[in-house]
Amino acid sequence: MAEHDGEKSQDPTPHRRQQVREAGHVAHSQDLSSAGLLLGSLVILIFTGGALLNFLGAMLGGYLSGGPWLASVQSGAQANADLVMSQWNALVPGLAKVLLPVLGLILLLAIALNVLQMGVWFLPHKLLPDFSRVNPLAGLSRLFSTANAARLAFGVFKIAVVAGVAIVSVYHQRHAIAALSGHDLPQIASLAWNICLWTCIKIGIALCVLAILDYGYQRWRHEQDLKMTPQEMREEMRNLQGDPQVIARRRGVQRQLAMNRLSQSVPKADVVIANPAEPVVALRYNSASMAAPVVAAKGTGLIAARIRQLALENGIPIVEKPALAEALYKEVDLNRTVPDKLYGTVAEVLAYAYQLKNKS
């Protein structure tokens, strides 16, 4: 029995999932975020990188022309310092204007990819220092764990895939690369850009495929870690609802008290209105002291069976009125009078019950 209690064979409860999530553990793949960020960044560069390339090209052409620098050298050290400051003041705003939108979109993409995987968290306890991370023995155990070995093997495999995709992509362009010597500089730059771009896209697609597989594995591993042993399940039920034995004992006492109340209230009833299945309602009426009939007892299941038994033992008529029994059970509490809209139907049942008593 102890051996079975140590096996994680029980599906995790919602409370267990909530606890693990509050501790900051969810299924996620860093590779999926990285691969998505690579492909997304390439798309962003394709649509927004033209302004950046034009700015860098114009800046490079201006610096390589040499005119401003030669003039500053001939004018002395003060003119050289002024030129450096003027070039710096021109470079920073221009570069920020074309670079910040690209970096901002990439930052938003990175945030979106992580939110899609893990959701939005607020875990202030993660900001507190964890001194267990400083323990060298614990660090060695994490370093040489099975999970780290699997992660290392997967990392080596990813490097091999990336290298293979890059080699194949460049190999297919070998004839175009060999003919670069006969082209102008703009043509060489355009071809180099296209080769690098498509190579990166192919690498990104390959990484996405691997990342999806890794995410599926992480989800499966997370579900396996969430599973609970029978002992953990019992402990959680005890913490949330109390000891099952105490709960069963309390329910038994409550059931016994209810049965005792039935033994006192049902024999005083005048009629029992029943549904062939459930529920059952016992009515009591005294014209001298009551303005309307009162629900003396009602119930389903074992309580309904007990009411029927007591009615038979005490000679109380049982009238099968399913609709009336349902209405009284749902609308009227114990020791409460029946509502006005049911007076007529209840009066007919009581009259019929009195006739049966007179015949007997």
Complete DSSP assignment for 28-54: --HHHHHHHHHHHHHHHHHHHHHHHHH
Q: What is the CATH number of domain 265-359?
A: 3.40.1690.10
Q: What is the DSSP letter of 10?
A: B
pLDDT, residue 83, reads 66
**What's the confidence (pLDDT) of residue 2?**
45
Given this model, what pLDDT does residue 139 score?
Answer: 60
- pLDDT digit string (tens) for 307-327? 888 888 888 888 888 888 888
303, amino acid identity: I
Q: Residue 33 burial (CB < 10 Å; 0-12/13-18/19+)?
A: buried
Domain boundaries, the chain: 27-118, 265-359
Place of tokens 């780290």: 148
Q: What's the confidence (pLDDT) of residue 360? A: 41
How confident is the model at residue 9, as a pLDDT?
72
Q: For residues 95-123, b (16+ Cβ closer than 10 Å) or e, as one string? A: eeebeeebeebbeebbeebbeebeeeeee
Q: Give residue 214's pLDDT.
A: 85
Instruction: Walk along the chain (360 residues) and give the pLDDT tens digit of each residue.
Output: 444 555 777 777 777 777 777 776 777 778 888 888 888 888 888 888 777 777 777 777 766 665 555 555 555 545 556 766 777 777 788 788 888 888 888 899 888 888 887 777 666 656 666 666 666 666 666 666 677 777 788 888 888 988 999 899 888 888 888 887 777 777 887 788 888 888 888 888 888 888 888 888 888 888 888 888 887 777 777 776 655 666 677 777 777 777 778 888 888 888 888 887 778 899 888 888 888 888 888 888 888 888 888 888 888 888 888 888 888 888 888 888 888 888 888 888 888 888 877 644
The answer to whether the pTM exceeds 0.85 is no
**How many residues are recorded in the chain?**
360
